[in-house]
Amino acid sequence: MKLNPTHTLFLLCDVQTKFRSAIYGYEHVIATSNKMVKLAKLLEIPVVCTTQNTRALGPTDPAIDLDSLAPLLLGTFDKTLFSMITQDVKSILDSRPFTSVVIFGIESHVCVLQTVLSLLALGKYSVHVVADGVSSCNSFEIPIALDRMRTEGAIIGTSESIAFQLMGDAGLNSFKPFSKFIKEVKESTKRAGETLLQGQVASVGQSGAVKSVM
């Protein structure tokens, strides 16, 4: 399904301060999260953020500029459920004619995966995962989780590919600031992709064992 900014919701999953020293390539998840926040502002895409048990794990990392979203930030919800699709988030999904959801955050094999599965089970949305915007404590979990999500029906894309899909047309007035934005984040995009994705292609053999090509 084509991504349309007027019918798309961004979900930022559990990027919290206590994870800083534990998550592989954490600083690149922060960079990509900020890239998606800037894209949301540019194309007026609403964002929902969750945290996992803030009492133990702290708030959303303040390095992510959520305040700049103003009313585009529809809420930040704390949860114990691993999936982001709590009753609060479900209510937001039901309140607007969303057809697509774009997810980024951590951990790829736990909360991101379970959010994807929850959304797919609803049968209403095309579910897109930002491959250079998700990570886990162990790097080997990333390709396995992405492969599982793809198998279940999620669409895996890079932040830049998703951004251009949402932009859609170079003839629009918003393309000039969009092009400037893409150039501004070019280096951080490259570093995030090289760290989080390159050399971590996973394939599943007939036996079901996962083989990582390093």
CATH of the structural domain 5-213, one choice from 3.40.50.850, 3.40.50.880, 2.115.10.20, 3.40.50.720:
3.40.50.850
- Distance separating the N- and C-terminal Cα atoms of the chain: 32
**Helix/strand/coil (H/E/C) assignment for every residue in 170-202:** CCCCCHHHHHHHHHHCHHHHHHHHHHHCCCCEE
Query: HSE-up of 43 (CA within 13 Å, CB side)?
Result: 28
Token code pair at residue 71: 């009313």
Question: Could you give the C-alpha distances from 66 to 15, 186, 192, 193, in angstroms and in order?
Answer: 12, 21, 20, 22
Residues designated catalytic: 14, 79, 111
d(CA 121, CA 38): 29
Residue found by looking up tokens 């036996």 in the block: 207
Statement: residue 207 has pLDDT above 80:
no
Please calculate the CA angle 32-164-179 and round it to the nearest 5 degrees.
Answer: 85
Question: Could you give the C-alpha distances from 52 to 60, 76, 82, 89, 100, in angstroms and in order?
Answer: 9, 11, 8, 14, 23
Q: What is the pLDDT of residues 182-202, one digit of tens each?
A: 999 999 999 999 999 875 544
Q: Of all helices (H) and strands (E), which one includes residue 42?
A: helix 26-43
Question: Tell me, what DSSP letter sits at residue 98?
Answer: -
Q: What is the pLDDT of residues 25-52, one digit of tens each?
A: 999 999 999 999 999 999 999 999 999 9
pLDDT at 213: 31
pLDDT at 2: 81
Q: What is the pLDDT of residues 93-142, one digit of tens each?
A: 999 999 999 999 999 999 999 999 999 999 999 999 999 999 999 999 99
Question: Is the full-model pTM beyond 0.95?
Answer: no
